[in-house]
Structure 1
Amino acid sequence: MMRRSNPFDEFEDLFERMSKQFEGMNRQVEETRPMWNTTGISVDVADEDDEYVVTADMPGFEKEDIDLSLSGRTLTVSGSREMARDDDSSEYLRRERRSESVSRTIRLPEDVREDDTHATYSNGVLTVHLPKRTASEEDDSHRIDID
């Protein structure tokens, strides 16, 4: 008596081969994906009862290098820094530190009170408090000072 083969064995083999190929492709993508945020500034936006709190990671920047502006519901966070240029004759084996400018625009879901906003910067973390507006007022751009 001749034993019949399972017709689904071929499908199982095919799915196993495809799975191995996809795993290999996934490893290649993970190896080439950059490990840093390509926008330059990572932010969290929290909706607390009476205000929005925006927390932004900006390591390596001085408080004076950061600029905040608010126009209507749009908060813009930007920073620029210049790395010191060495005039000595050092020969670098690797040089990755550079001058850079970063910027991030965040659209808030509601209007905020521009005059009551405030920001702090400590240990590379910028925190912006934006109290929610209760009454409609005319929108004007407003600069936010950093404490």
Structure 2
Amino acid sequence: MSMERNPFKNLEEQFEQIQRQFEEAIRMWNGEQFEMPRITSMSEMRMGIDLADRGDEFVLTADVPGFEKDDIELRLADDTLHIVATREEEKEHEERDELYLKTERARRSMQRSIDLPEPVDEDAAEATCKNGVLTITLPKTEPGELDGETIEVKT
């Protein structure tokens, strides 16, 4: 009679228990118990960016995985760049005769506002999106090119 005993069985059971507890903690922190909106991924909380100063321009690189160029809205207001990326729910589920046991690829959105350290030329700004990476080139504006009203100094 052969007794095949897995020497790691107790350890595996402990890991499974820790994993269940961790998953429960994630559900709790996502606000289900506090009636807060559910966050389904870390990317919905924060969009990762890099902002480089290349002398005459700023180059901002942002991670927007899963978003196409048409899903992204860029707005520049008062030296603040606003990035909003939104992907609507895919309608493919209704067209197929498949039974989905779980679907998490519904509406997603990310947004971020970045204060720029110097004024930029909005009209010369350019943006590209490739493989989930958004790159925005923002040429700096010379101080003499700033719009605005002159204020007369009176004595």
- Give the TM-score normalised by structure 1: 0.64
What pairs up with 1:93-112 in 2 under 5 angstroms? 93-112=101-120
Larger-gyration structure (1/2)? 1
Q: Give the Cα separation in 1 of the matches to 2:89 and 2:44.
A: 20
Are 1:90 and 2:98 counterparts?
yes
How many residues align structurally? 110
Q: Which moved more, 1:77-86 or 1:118-127?
A: 77-86
CA gap of 1:35–1:103, structure 2 versus 1, over 3 A, is closer
Identity %, equivalent residues: 41
Question: 2:123 aligns to what SS in structure 1?
Answer: helix
Q: Displaced runs of 4+ in structure 1, greater than 4 A?
A: 31-35
What pairs up with 1:1-147 in 2 under 5 angstroms? 36-85=42-91, 86-87=93-94, 88=96, 90-136=98-144, 137-138=146-147
Q: Structure 1: which 5+ residue stretches go unaligned?
A: 1-27, 140-147
Indicate if the aligned counterparts of 1:72 and 1:112 stay in contact, CA closer than 8 A: no
Q: Give the Cα separation in 2 of the matches to 1:112 and 1:39.
A: 27
Tell me how far 1:38 sits from its aligned partner.
Answer: 4.6
Greater strand proportion: 1
CA RMSD of aligned residues (A): 2.4
